């Protein structure tokens, strides 16, 4: 079975709709968290993920929406958006978020928002990638959190490899290596490509494919304005950063 994997949707329904529109009905869906925060439609995005995903883990914005956890690390615009999220989030959706795990171990795979064990650490460099490999024995770790589509490898000689994947492309998995796959962000990409990012993982074919899907950014920008969210949150969608 193939798995589409999404992360960092951030209440951007247009982007989520567009990304899922490319995923075939027989494809299973995993979500790596941050369904909410920043954007205008948290409930609608949660509803889609609840309906479609077989596995989902918590992101830092999801946790903050539930109980203010980590809010002191948020910048002013993230905090504004979080207050909006808490205002509109239905009790039922908040309870659903509250029931999600921080990480999920499958056979060979680990699903976590930021990094194994230290859930919300950012993997931005080879040192962080090495710590992440050392923290788990999973062959392949799927993460989001940085909003940058890329992957890290632990090579047979112990060195760390790195590749940006901000355009569509595939990775063939090698038995001798371990992988950290950053699926990028659906709803607020920051790798200078404004199109929604997700991956399709095929364990049988031993491949990961990064996809980018254009969506109606102008429509989301209007909704951000209508919700009185900070206008920079609308502008950055068009810039992809």
- Dihedral sign for Cα 147, 70, 61, 136, please: positive
Q: Does 191 bind Zn ion (CB under 5 A)?
A: no
Distances (CA, A) of 221 to 64, 106, 217: 23, 37, 6
Cα separation of 174 and 206, whole Å?
A: 8
Among 34, 62, 191, 211, binds Zn ion (CB under 5 A): 34
The one among 3, 4, 5, 8 contacting Zn ion by CB under 5 A = 8
Nearer to Zn ion, 81 or 154 (CB): 81
Whichever of 110 and 143 has its CB closer to Zn ion, that residue is: 143
14 is a site residue for Zn ion (CB under 5 A): no
Query: Applying CB under 5 A, which part among 32-40, 77-85, 98-106, 231-239 lies near Zn ion?
Result: 32-40
Q: Is the CB of 154 or the CB of 234 nearer to Zn ion? A: 234
182 and 124 in contact (C-beta within 8 Å)? Answer: no
Instruction: Tell me the DSSP string of 126-163.
Output: HHHHHHHHHT---SEEEE-SS--EEEEEE-TTS-EEEE
In the complex, the smallest distance separating the C-beta of residue 207 from Zn ion, rounded to whole angstroms, is 25
Q: Which is nearer to Zn ion, 46 or 154 (by Cβ)?
A: 46
Q: Which of residues 194-233 bind Zn ion (CB under 5 A)?
A: none
Count the residues of the shown chain that bind Zn ion, applying the rule CB under 5 A.
2
Q: Whole-angstrom distance between the N-terminal and C-terminal Cα of the chain?
A: 33
Is beta strand 160-164 parallel, antiparallel or unpaired with respect to 149-154? antiparallel
CA-closest candidate to residue 147, choices 180, 126, 124: 124
User: Which of the residues 74 through 113 are near Zn ion (CB under 5 A)?
Assistant: none
Q: Which stretch binds Zn ion (CB under 5 A): 4-12, 49-57, 91-99, 168-176?
A: 4-12
- Smallest distance from Zn ion to CB 113, Å: 8
Instruction: Answer yes or no whether residue 62 interacts with Zn ion by CB under 5 A.
Output: no
The token duo for 92 is 């039922």
Interface residues toward Zn ion, by CB under 5 A = 8, 34
């Amino acid at each position: 079975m193939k798995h589409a994997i999404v992360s960092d949707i951030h209440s951007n329904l247009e982007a989520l709709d567009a990304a899922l529109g490319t995923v075939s009905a027989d494809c299973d869906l995993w979500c790596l968290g941050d369904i909410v925060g920043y954007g205008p439609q948290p409930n609608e995005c949660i509803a889609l993920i609840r309906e479609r995903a077989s596995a989902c883990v918590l992101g830092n914005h999801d946790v903050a929406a539930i109980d203010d956890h980590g809010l002191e690390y948020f910048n002013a615009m993230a905090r504004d958006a979080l207050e909006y999220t808490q205002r509109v989030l239905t009790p039922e959706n908040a309870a659903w978020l509250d029931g999600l795990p921080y990480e999920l171990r499958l056979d060979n795979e680990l699903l976590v928002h930021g990094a194994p064990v230290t859930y919300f650490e950012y993997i931005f460099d080879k040192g962080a990638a090495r710590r992440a490999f050392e923290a788990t024995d999973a062959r392949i770790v799927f993460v989001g959190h940085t909003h940058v589509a890329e992957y890290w490898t632990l090579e047979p000689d112990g060195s760390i490899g790195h590749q940006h994947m901000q355009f569509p492309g595939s990775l063939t998995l090698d038995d001798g290596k371990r992988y950290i796959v950053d699926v990028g962000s659906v709803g607020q990409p920051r790798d200078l490509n404004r199109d929604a990012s997700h991956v399709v993982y095929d364990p049988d074919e031993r491949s990961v494919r990064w996809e980018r899907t254009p969506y109606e950014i102008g429509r989301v920008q209007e909704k951000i304005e209508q919700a009185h969210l900070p206008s920079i949150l609308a502008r950055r969608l068009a810039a992809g950063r």
